[in-house]
């Protein structure tokens, strides 16, 4: 395992270069050798034209270099309003097939409590042939970046972080602590729950404001 507290010379790999993964890779590239991986060839080509400091690739074998692998893929909902974990499962399969012994795999995608340990970890074990806790470790740190929000950027938010044990929690706290403020959650399920609560609170606030706006509009009250 990555047991030393000195993160120098560690390699970070971000899997999924969307509105969450790309800024994350950019932030980590200021401190570590960082690899940005995505399966979308068109996206890779476009990103390479922007002159980022991190390595940009669609070659999954580069994941084998990483001491920390951060999965930041989308989690859409199905037509029946159920969470679609297909991107998370696919990413975990790719990472598992290319997992370095001793690495820590962190999920950042929005998921319900239990996904990291009950779904992601077994896939990683199956694909890598390694055992969680012995061959690799896992953690969770929910993404908290809104698309187009230039005010609440990664360096200005508090990042909730948790590993599967005290050692991995401390290592992830140090890792994320190089780019932003960190709050250590009690365990992975608590960190996953925090993301669910945050999303519900945001959605309720938006819904309330929309309802009030409709009511005030009928009363000729300008909400702007």
Q: Tell me: the pLDDT tens digits for 82-127?
A: 889 999 999 999 999 999 999 999 999 989 999 999 999 999 999 9
Query: CA 120, CA 180: separation in Å to the nearest integer?
Result: 26
Structure tokens at 162: 């948790």
3 confidence band (pLDDT: 50, 70, 90): very low
Predicted local confidence at residue 148, as pLDDT:
63
Residue 151 burial (10 A CB sphere; 0-12, 13-18, 19+): exposed
How many CA atoms, within 13 angstroms, populate the side-chain half-sphere of residue 202?
9
pLDDT digits (tens, 9 = 90+) for 155-209: 888 999 999 999 999 999 999 999 999 999 999 999 999 876 776 777 788 888 8
Q: Smallest Cα–Cα separation from 187: which of 133, 131, 105, 117? A: 117
Predicted local confidence at residue 82, as pLDDT:
86
The DSSP element (H or E) to which 181 belongs, if any, is strand 181-184
């Amino acid at each position: 395992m990555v047991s030393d507290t000195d993160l120098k010379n560690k390699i970070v790999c971000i899997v999924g270069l969307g509105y969450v993964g790309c800024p994350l890779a950019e932030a980590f590239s200021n401190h570590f050798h960082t690899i940005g991986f995505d399966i979308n060839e068109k996206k890779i080509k476009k990103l390479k034209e922007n002159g980022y400091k991190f390595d940009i690739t669609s070659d999954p074998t580069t994941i084998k270099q990483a001491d920390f692998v951060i999965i930041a893929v989308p989690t859409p909902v199905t037509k029946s309003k159920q969470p679609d974990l297909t991107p998370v499962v696919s990413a975990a399969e790719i990472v598992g097939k290319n997992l370095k012994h001793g690495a820590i795999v962190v999920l950042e995608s929005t998921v319900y409590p239990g996904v990291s340990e009950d779904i992601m970890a077994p896939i990683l074990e199956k694909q890598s042939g390694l055992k969680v806790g012995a061959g690799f470790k896992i953690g969770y740190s929910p993404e908290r970046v809104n698309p187009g929000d230039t005010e609440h950027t990664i360096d200005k938010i508090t990042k909730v972080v948790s590993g599967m044990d005290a050692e991995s929690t401390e290592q992830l706290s140090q890792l994320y602590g190089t780019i932003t403020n960190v709050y250590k959650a009690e365990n992975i399920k608590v960190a996953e729950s925090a993301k669910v609560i945050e999303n519900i609170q945001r959605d309720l606030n938006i819904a309330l404001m929309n309802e009030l706006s409709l009511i005030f509009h009928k009363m000729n009250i300008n909400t702007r």
